[in-house]
Amino acid sequence: MTVTLTPEEVKARFGPMFCRRLLVMTDEKNGIAEIHEECHARGPIEWDHMNRRRAGGALVSARTEGTKMTMKAKLGCYPIQFGPAAAELGGQALEGVVVKGDEVHTSWAGAAGAGVGVAACLAQAPGVIRAEYKSEEDLNVGGARICRSTVVLPKYEKITFGIDDTDVKEEGATWVLALQCGEACNIEGVEFLGMRLVQLNPKAPNKTTNCTGSALSFAVRPGKKEELIEFVKTFIEEHSVSPETGICYLEGLVMPESPYKKQIKTELLTAEYANAEAERIGVTFIDSANAKGRIGSLGALLWANDGVEAAGLFGEEA
């Protein structure tokens, strides 16, 4: 018999645990999901990273930075393989990600101590709607048994923005304004995921000094997209000190392939080319200026899902 518990009921049963964030964005067109998880400490998130990758299931890839892990997963349910202790013991896995209306059902399995993680820790993370267990046995955590849970979360989608040319030589800094924009967004149903500072071609003749653009990423409930887009446009343009500000956005989890990604770090490009390439790959400009800021904003957006290399020159090793 299925047991259903709210996060508060899970906490009352097991005591407070350690998951600071569990958030799922889906892209049903491409059959994928992106899951953001944050823990109080590095140890558990690093262990989960390696064990979930080893176990397979719905997980495609994972990236861990400090106490945060970003997972890419396939929509659907898939078989898992635990290890290294044995086929039956030791490990943790994401078995499935299924969209059901306005909810996303994430299915987890954990053996031994990892069972505490899936039954008690993830199930009480901020944002969780409820947790479902096939039986009371799945709530008997720890030891050598395998526990399973389905953690139900609200459905989010992803919108990424590219921003550039909000400053002049005398004042302003695009990365500061971009980060202020992300932090200022308090729209219900929108979660600010982070900002990436992207190094563009430092040989650009009309740069300020460092020649960097910024990318902002948000998780957004489907009905809140237009409000978020308008908020970013208004905030950036009202606080920009440049008449040539560029702002663009992309919906979804798949970053399009484009030669522009390399070119923005290695070549001198034009706003006309930026407009044409954005239209080709499905990126939308929303700025009012229609000026050279579009060159760097598109480039920044295309590097938004990369790691520290986004902040470097092309080919530069960290």
pLDDT above 60 (res 208): yes
CB 128 within 8 A of CB 35: no
Question: What number is the average pLDDT over the span 116-137?
Answer: 93
pLDDT above 80 (res 84): no
pLDDT above 60 (res 290): yes
DSSP string over 179-243: HHHHHH---TTEEEEEEEEEE--TT-TT--SS-EEEEEEEEE-GGGHHHHHHHHHHHHHHH---T
Per-residue pLDDT at 127 = 93
pLDDT interval class at 171 (50, 70, 90): confident
Per-residue pLDDT at 316 = 87
Question: What number is the average pLDDT over the span 162-176?
Answer: 87
Lowest mean pLDDT among 2-11, 43-52, 133-142, 238-247: 133-142
pLDDT above 70 (res 83): no
CB 198 within 8 A of CB 133: no
Q: Compute the distance between CA of residue 18 and CA of residue 66 in angstroms, rounded to an integer.
A: 15
Domains of the chain: 3-154 (no CATH), 158-311 (3.30.70.2200)
pLDDT above 70 (res 235): yes
Question: What number is the average pLDDT over the span 98-103?
Answer: 98
- Calculate what percentage of the chain has a pLDDT beyond 90: 82
Question: What number is the average pLDDT over the span 8-24?
Answer: 96
